């Protein structure tokens, strides 16, 4: 586990202390009242387009763990909110997020994922360096004079931190990614994905991206929708801890699971001085990184983290969930097989239960016959999330930086 700064550690201790208090007293905190929201939030095409433009194309998105483009020349491509993205590591070891559009006539310069020393456009063969600059124009004499310096692939703002890589899908953005992540980002870096291994990646389809993501922000449905997988005894209660637009959900009960080292169980440390609590004992629960990512820890075959990214699909009623399962260190084949079983199980739960359910909800809401949906006092993480979506849709470009600084103080 890496060292994190004092503020982030203080926050982890504060949350852990509160979890222990609630765990001991059997209590949890709830919102003062039920909140309602128009069902059109999930069905309206205009709203969906605004979310693509004003949310997904303006807010930092977690694209990958550093280990996914470990070596120089490793790359991955994405299509997010209509933007083709090429994520790569250049010859100096810097992560680069580039717009995957050839500056000649717009074909993509890279497909899928892999490793290369330069990108060659598959249409007419222009080549680009790993840093995006235009290296060569094919049949240059025939093509005619161009100023190569102005024909590089467009660069997107990017930040690599704590083994994770964020980018903003707007080349003009001046948003401070670090300010957006705030202390949450610092604490999150204690997962330390640097040097980890991607052992499984699943791509699942579902309904509206917020319907799919809402299911990550409450535990209320666990003993019901997941009664045959997680079991009907699973606690539906979540404690919520907010940090700017981000949040954590923690069940105030003892986390006991085969294979989990004792030092990762917070309750083992209740009687010890706070400054001796290991960081991993304070990383429990689900971490929700705004606007579309959740992190969950597992210990099957070794320490692992399931990172789920929920992306908007082609229409308001479609989404894509990418489940990436990472393991610490260099797990053996047997350990990986154990983790793979967990990854397969989680795919079954989400694809077979959550996302099936989200499609049923979508069909129902599309009928227009339920005008409003309600979020209970025990589902306040969802309310927090939707309020932040609204706030961001309403903010001008200039207001975004201020919003994250001010929002942190008041959220």
SS3 of the chain:
CCCCCHHHHHHHHHHHHHHHHHHHHCCCCCCCCCEEEEHHHHCCHHHHHHHHHHHHCCCCEEEEEHHHHCCCCEEEEEEECCEEEEEEECCCCCEEEEECCCCCCCCCCCCCEEECCEEECCCCCCEEECCCCEEECCCHHHHCCCCHHHCCCCEECEEEECCEEEECCCCCCCCCHHHHHHHHHHHHHHHCCCCCEEEEEEEEEECCHHHHHHCCCCCCCHHHHCCCCCCCCCCCCCEEEEECCEEEEECCCCCCCCCCCHHHCHHHHCCCCHHHCCHHHHCCCEEEECCCEEEEEECCCCCEEEEEEEEECCCCCCEEEEEEEEECCCCCHHHHHHHHHHHHHHHHHHHHHHHHHHHHHHHHHHCCCCCEEEECHHHHHHHHHHHHHHHHHHCCHHHHHHHHHHHHHHC
Q: Which of residues 248-287 bind Fe ion (CB under 5 A)?
A: none
Q: Which of residues 380-409 bind Fe ion (CB under 5 A)?
A: none
Q: Which does residue 277 touch among ligand FES, Fe ion, none (CB within 5 to 8 A, set by kind)?
A: none
CB of 104 to ligand FES, least distance (A): 4
Task: Please tell me the count of residues contacting ligand FES according to CB under 6 A.
Answer: 10
Stretch that binds Fe ion, among 185-193, 208-216, 340-348, 377-385 (CB under 5 A): 208-216
CB of 325 to ligand FES, least distance (A): 35
Residue 379 CA to residue 238 CA, distance in Å, equals 8
- In this chain, which of 215, 282, 365, 403 binds Fe ion, going by CB under 5 A? 215
- Our CB check for ligand FES shows the closer of 107 and 262 to be 107
Residues in the chain: 411
CB of 106 to ligand FES, least distance (A): 6
- Our CB check for ligand FES shows the closer of 100 and 321 to be 100
Q: Which does residue 105 touch among Fe ion, ligand FES, none (CB within 5 to 8 A, set by kind)?
A: ligand FES
Pair type for strands 304-312 and 118-120 = unpaired
Query: x/- site string to ligand FES, residues 83 to 112, per CB under 6 A?
Result: -------------------x-xxxx-----
On whether the CB atoms of residues 279 and 190 are closer than 8 A, the answer is yes
Query: x/- site string to Fe ion, residues 312 to 351, per CB under 5 A?
Result: ----------------------------------------
Q: Which does residue 123 touch among Fe ion, ligand FES, none (CB within 5 to 8 A, set by kind)?
A: ligand FES
CB of 64 to Fe ion, least distance (A): 24
CB of 311 to Fe ion, least distance (A): 18
- Our CB check for Fe ion shows the closer of 101 and 307 to be 307
CB of 107 to ligand FES, least distance (A): 4
Q: Which of residues 346-385 bind Fe ion (CB under 5 A)?
A: 354
Query: x/- site string to ligand FES, residues 112 to 151, per CB under 6 A?
Result: ---------x-xxxx-------------------------
| 169 binds Fe ion, rule: CB under 5 A | no
Residue 53 CA to residue 42 CA, distance in Å, equals 16
Task: Please tell me the count of residues contacting Fe ion according to CB under 5 A.
Answer: 2
CB of 126 to ligand FES, least distance (A): 4
For 133, list phi and psi in degrees, rounded to 5: -70, 150
Q: Which of residues 232-291 bind ligand FES (CB under 6 A)?
A: none
Closest among 112, 87, 109, 114 to 98, alpha carbons compared: 87
CB of 123 to ligand FES, least distance (A): 4
Q: Which does residue 354 touch among Fe ion, ligand FES, none (CB within 5 to 8 A, set by kind)?
A: Fe ion
- Our CB check for ligand FES shows the closer of 59 and 121 to be 121
Using CB under 5 A, list all residues that contact Fe ion: 215, 354
Residues that bind ligand FES in the complex, under the rule CB under 6 A: 102, 104-107, 121, 123-126
């Amino acid at each position: 586990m890496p060292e994190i700064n004092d503020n982030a550690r203080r926050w982890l201790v504060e949350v852990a202390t509160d979890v222990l208090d609630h765990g001991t007293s059997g209590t949890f905190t709830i919102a003062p009242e039920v909140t309602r929201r128009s069902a059109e939030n999930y069905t309206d095409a205009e709203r969906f387009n605004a979310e693509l433009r004003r949310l997904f194309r303006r807010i930092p998105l977690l694209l990958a763990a550093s280990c996914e483009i470990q070596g120089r020349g490793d790359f991955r491509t994405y299509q997010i909110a209509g933007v083709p993205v090429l994520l790569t590591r250049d010859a100096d070891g810097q992560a680069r997020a580039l717009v995957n559009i050839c500056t000649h006539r717009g074909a993509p310069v890279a497909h899928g994922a892999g490793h290369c020393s330069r990108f060659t456009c598959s249409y007419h063969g222009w080549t680009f360096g790993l840093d995006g600059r235009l290296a060569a124009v094919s049949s240059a004499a025939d093509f005619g004079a161009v100023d190569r310096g102005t024909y590089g692939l467009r660069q997107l703002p990017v930040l690599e931190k704590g083994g994770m890589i964020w980018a903003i899908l707007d080349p003009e953005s001046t948003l401070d990614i670090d300010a957006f992540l705030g202390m949450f980002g610092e604490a999150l870096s204690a997962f330390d994905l640097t040097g980890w291994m991607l052992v499984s990646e699943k791509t699942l389809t579902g309904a509206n991206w917020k319907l799919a993501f809402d299911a990550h922000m409450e535990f209320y449905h666990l003993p019901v929708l997941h009664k045959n997988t997680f079991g009907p005894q699973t606690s539906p209660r979540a404690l919520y801890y907010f940090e700017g637009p981000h949040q954590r959900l923690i069940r105030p009960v003892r986390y006991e699971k085969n294979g989990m080292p004792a030092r990762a169980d917070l309750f083992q440390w209740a009687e010890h001085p706070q400054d001796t609590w290991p960081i991993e004992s304070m990383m429990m629960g689900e971490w929700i990184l705004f606007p579309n990512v959740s992190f969950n820890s597992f210990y099957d075959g070794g320490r692992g983290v399931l990172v789920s990214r929920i992306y908007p699909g082609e229409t308001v009623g479609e989404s894509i969930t990418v489940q990436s399962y990472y393991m610490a260190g260099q797990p053996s084949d047997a350990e990986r097989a154990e983790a793979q079983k967990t990854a397969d199980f989680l795919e079954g739960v989400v694809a077979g239960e959550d996302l099936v359910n989200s499609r049923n909800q979508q069909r129902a809401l599309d009928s227009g016959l339920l005008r409003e949906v309600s979020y209970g006092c025990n589902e306040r993480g969802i309310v927090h999330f939707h309020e932040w979506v609204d706030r961001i849709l309403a903010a001008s470009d200039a207001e975004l930086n201020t919003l994250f600084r001010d929002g942190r103080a008041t959220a």
